[in-house]
Structure 1
Amino acid sequence: MTALEADTTTVLDAVRALVPEIAQRANEIEAAKLIPADLIQRLTDAGAFRMFVPRQYGGEEMTLLEGMAVIEEVAKADASAGWTVMIGADFAPVFGRFPQNVLDGEIYPEGPDTMARGAFAPKGVAIRSDGGYLVNGQWPLASGSYEHQWMMGSCIVLQQGAPVMTDAGVPEMVLAMVPAEQADFVQTWDSVGLRGTSSNDFVFKDVFVPDEHIGNFFGPATVDTTLFRLPIRLALGPTHVAVVVGIAEGALSDLRQLAKTKRPAFNPTMRLAEDPVFQYRLGQLDIRLASVRALAEKEVRLMWDAASAGEPISPLQATRQRAMVARAHTECVEIVNEAFGLAGSNAMYNRSMLQRRLRDVRTAAQHAAASGEIYTIVGALLVGEGVPPAALA
């Protein structure tokens, strides 16, 4: 199995046709720190960025597993391209946190390919003003080198200089959406991995955001699809898994190819592929990656089936799904790291895709979605102990 969902789709087939060129242009992507505009256009034409847009707006309305298969295919060719597809596609359920009349009249009036960039860590502040909020802040890690119409930033709401507290005892947060031209980018992206994602900082300075452009990131969606019914963290986490699984699959593919010709320095009579110790370790890595896929498919399918039936997702089910996301990142980092080690000195040169994949997967695993803190919440629920309500949002 080479993808998270065996069933092919029109989008998956179209993207697979682009994969060889994406892989061939990986050096170009890394050097430019962005995905070339012509590749972005062809990914758009393939439907990669409208995978999760509701059909009522002309989108594909694909399932999570179908979308994950697309992202994995791209990430296997180039991690930055896979990450970019993930980010662009994931804004569909985020748009769904804004009023439906905004989606109808401002987001999708001309079709499903409206794009956004932004960041969801609350690095901005919002002060109530007549009919909206005055927003200021600087947000890091706004990935995506595609043309976009909207920018989003999460903010802490202030009143008289202090955070407004919710009934749950945490600061009130709002998600501000503004036209892209009202944001200024700061060229901060100089990273060890995922270099082609153009994940720069952006700034809102004294931007007035009307109430209809204020979303509740953790609230319910205003448009009803199975994906949009999911709490936002559950909707977005699995696509991160698709990226790291794609990177890990690419690393194992690189290693298999290398093993066919590489001869160990102190045993030149044998190809690496003939070494039983290598075979044993490669077999382990293959099964470990298959286990990551199996767990991801199980947890995503259980969650999807519940949402499709209109059933609530229990706190334990929700936190187990988030723990799956964290575990997948940890395991994929270890798989790629071990593949790098098995490749020997070949992997340490900049010309090696394995060293790039190691940098990329390690960078991807720095995302908040990969945080192991969720294990504590799962454990507390398993033994019947209380957890803060905010931890379950």
Structure 2
Amino acid sequence: MTQTLEPTSPGSTDVDASRPKREVIAKATALVPLIRQYAEQGSADRRVAPEVIAALEAEGLFKLFVPRRYGGYEENLRTAMETIAEVARGDGSTAWAVALLNVCTWFGTTFSQQAQDDVFGANPDAKCCGIFTPGSKAERVEGGYLVSGQWPYSSGSFAADWGTLGIALDVPEGEDPRALALIPKEAWTIKPTWFVAGMKGSGSDTIVVKDHFVPDHRIQRFVDMREADFATPHRSEERNSNMAFIPVAALILVGAQLGLARHALDLTLEKLPNKMVAYTKYKAAKNSPTHQLGVAAAATKFNLAELLMQQATSDIDNAAARGELPDLITRGRIRNNTGIIAELVKDGIDILMTTNGAGSFADANILNQIWRDAEIAGRHAYVTPEVGKEVYGRLLIGADDALTMDV
């Protein structure tokens, strides 16, 4: 794929490596009508419609982080967040699948060259899904591990070619045993377990693997990935091979939230102004102070969420361009603000539901779908606001121990 702008390479003195690539984002915007057309079908089928997956693939929107050497866009995190948000203006479930397939495919690009060739060499359009939680068995054998287990909530697994799945390594006591293993789709089955109130079409079912051999070159230790000490040999020339692992993995989860907020506000500004306010003198809600204040409050929360996203992507993208890992305080702030973004969006959508009236909760009202999607998306473990606040607060105040190793 061709690009107009060259990526910022590690060591660059460019003052902002987080500039969004508008022509890539525009590809997602152009697909919004199609995504909306198939959104209901995706929810009913519990996976994004094949027609939508094909359209996203045709525009390369599962290859946002994939290196150019494999035909990808090799874009920065800001562009990915904006692209996911635009997809979410069409449908939250589709955006969630796009987010997880992109970030897990990025994980795949950080593995050893041999592993990357296994994944992308034969199929440059390969997509990865992933789950960090270790499966039930990882037995050390000659040359690798024999892996079995179940990995629930594997979003987008229905469209993935590989999984970056958590395993527990045989390591000395006291060391972090966690690792990610690249496992091809031929080695797993999908158990239908995703029956939920929102994000129904994300396909977040359970991957099941039984006694699959994973060679050592397809395994990366979690502790190395957390410190951006990736196995890829391309860190000196590829910015994305230096991105902060946990901050990216967490922040990507609120890309869909931002798009849901944009869609909710668009619908409100389109439908609310001339709506009669029942049991009052107001013939049009646009003249009602209650509704004016409600819309302003929600819009302000959404704007704050957007600003926090832009700050976080700037911290991550610019550090990656310098070949550096953001310091612990910055990473803690990003973890904290990821939860705050979700909180702001959920609160803002709640305000708009009230402002638009009880009809917002009708099954036929798209605001109802947006509300349910935002409620589910905002409850991912990496997004939980209270955990993020504690992580950040402990780092700021110098607590004796960390709440989590995942920063």
What's 2:162 paired with?
A: 150
What's 1:195 paired with?
A: 200
What secondary structure sits across from 2:283 in the alignment?
coil
What's 2:5 paired with?
A: none
Matched, 1:295 2:308: yes
| Residues in 1 aligned to 2:223 and 2:57: alpha-carbon distance in whole angstroms | 28
Deviations 1:117-148 (A, max 9, x none): 23112243311111111111111001116533
| Residues in 2 aligned to 1:48 and 1:276: alpha-carbon distance in whole angstroms | 42
Per-residue deviation, 1:263: 1.4
What's 2:151 paired with?
A: 139
| Residues in 1 aligned to 2:188 and 2:115: alpha-carbon distance in whole angstroms | 20
Paired residue type of 1:346 = G
Distance 1:392 1:146, change over 3 A: closer
| Residues in 1 aligned to 2:382 and 2:403: alpha-carbon distance in whole angstroms | 18
TM-score of the aligned structures, taking structure 2 as reference length = 0.88
How many residue pairs align between the two structures?
381
TM-score of the aligned structures, taking structure 1 as reference length = 0.91
What's 1:122 paired with?
A: 134
Mark the runs of 5 or more structure 2 residues left unpaired by the alignment.
1-17
Per-residue deviation, 1:188: 0.8
Deviates more, 1:11-20 or 1:212-221: 212-221
Q: Residue 234 of structure 1 contacts residue 318 of structure 1 at CA under 8 Å; is this kept in 2?
A: yes
What's 1:181 paired with?
A: 186
Deviations 1:64-89 (A, max 9, x none): 11111110001111001111111111
Matched, 1:22 2:27: no
What's 2:215 paired with?
A: 210
What's 1:251 paired with?
A: 264
Paired residue type of 2:125 = D
Distance 1:386 1:249, change over 3 A: same
Deviates more, 1:246-255 or 1:320-329: 246-255
| Residues in 2 aligned to 1:200 and 1:384: alpha-carbon distance in whole angstroms | 39
| Residues in 1 aligned to 2:370 and 2:86: alpha-carbon distance in whole angstroms | 14
Deviations 1:160-183 (A, max 9, x none): xxxx455xx354112222221110
Mark the runs of 5 or more structure 1 residues left unpaired by the alignment.
159-163
Matched, 1:332 2:345: yes
What's 2:330 paired with?
A: 317
Q: Residue 35 of structure 1 contacts residue 145 of structure 1 at CA under 8 Å; is this kept in 2?
A: no
Q: Where do residues 1-393 of structure 1 align in structure 2 (5 Å cutoff)?
A: 7-103=20-116, 105-110=117-122, 112-144=124-156, 147-157=159-169, 164-165=171-172, 169=174, 171-219=176-224, 220-221=229-230, 222=232, 223-224=234-235, 225-267=238-280, 269-371=282-384, 372-388=386-402, 391=405, 393=407
Q: Residue 65 of structure 2 contacts residue 106 of structure 2 at CA under 8 Å; is this kept in 1?
A: yes
Paired residue type of 1:330 = E
Distance 1:269 1:332, change over 3 A: closer
Deviations 1:248-274 (A, max 9, x none): 111122222221342122126512222
| Residues in 2 aligned to 1:6 and 1:385: alpha-carbon distance in whole angstroms | 35
What's 1:161 paired with?
A: none
Q: Percent identity?
A: 27
